[in-house]
């Protein structure tokens, strides 16, 4: 998942704005007590999401895949007054921890947290979004993209995480039955060919596909 050497990665983080204290605490807590902590956006990617949010000054943000709430808090940092992050996750076991950190950050009023299947929830959202962050099950990346494109304003952006999939996208061979890698490859190809958008794939952590709707 990390494509830079440990020394370079440390240098990059030392020359990136620090995490707010509540995010530092959430980062440590996730790594200490939650399964698969690599799913956390973390310092560098989190500051990038925050920077995009501050540049976009969004009123409405959709996040597909909350995990422990780190990225939702980053996205909330640049909201307009009265703006909101709508974040969806299917794992109800993390709900109490997530809500605890939203409260600690003083962001409860800025974040609407929904537990359930995003494929069912997204169609019910009659909202025009400025930003969408996709970081959920890779099999459905294309379905999420197709569902949200008409819900995002012209000039709005979609950010999809894990699009390098630990480097598997350029592997010489892909294991038979590796549905997630094939899904990411198909998603990346579809975005590249989509004339409704412009895009750039950033090699940050596990890869971020940044898509701007024309």
Q: What is the pLDDT of residues 115-135, one digit of tens each?
A: 999 999 999 999 999 999 999
pTM of structure: 0.96
In a domain, 46, yes or no: yes
On the CB side of 118, how many CA atoms lie within 13 Å of its CA? 29
**What is the percentage of the chain residues whose pLDDT exceeds 70?**
100
The pLDDT-based confidence of 194 (bands split at 50, 70, 90) is very high
Cα–Cα distance, 214 to 211 (Å, whole number): 9
Question: Is the separation of the CB atoms in 207 and 162 below 8 Å?
Answer: yes
- pLDDT tens, residue by residue, 27-40: 999 999 999 988 89
Structural domain contains residue 184: yes
Domain that holds residue 50: 6-213
How far apart are alpha carbons 89 and 105 in whole angstroms? 19
Between CA 113 and CA 121, with CA 118 as vertex, the angle to 5 degrees is 75
| In-domain check, residue 1 | no
Average pLDDT, the chain: 96
For the domain that residue 194 is a member of, what is the CATH number?
3.40.50.150
Residues 103-115: tens digit of each pLDDT: 999 999 999 999 9
């Amino acid at each position: 998942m990390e494509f830079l050497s440990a020394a370079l990665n440390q240098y990059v983080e030392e020359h990136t704005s620090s995490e707010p204290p509540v995010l530092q605490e959430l980062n440590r807590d996730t790594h200490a007590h939650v399964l698969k902590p690599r799913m956390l956006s973390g310092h560098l990617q989190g500051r990038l999401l925050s920077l995009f949010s501050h540049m976009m000054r969004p009123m409405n943000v959709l996040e597909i895949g909350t995990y422990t709430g780190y990225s939702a808090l980053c996205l909330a940092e640049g909201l307009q007054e009265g703006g909101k992050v709508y974040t969806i996750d299917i794992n109800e076991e993390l709900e109490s921890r997530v809500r605890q950190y939203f409260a600690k950050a003083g962001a409860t009023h800025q974040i609407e947290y929904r537990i359930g299947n995003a494929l069912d929830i997204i169609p019910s959202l009659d909202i025009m979004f400025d930003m969408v962050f996709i970081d959920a099950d890779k099999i459905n990346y294309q379905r999420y993209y197709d569902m949200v494109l008409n819900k995002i304003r012209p000039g709005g952006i979609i950010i999809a995480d894990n699009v390098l999939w630990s480097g598997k996208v350029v592997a010489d061979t892909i294991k038979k039955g590796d549905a997630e890698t094939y899904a990411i490859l198909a998603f990346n190809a579809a975005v590249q060919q989509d004339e409704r958008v412009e895009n750039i794939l950033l090699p940050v952590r596990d890869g971020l596909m940044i898509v701007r709707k024309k």
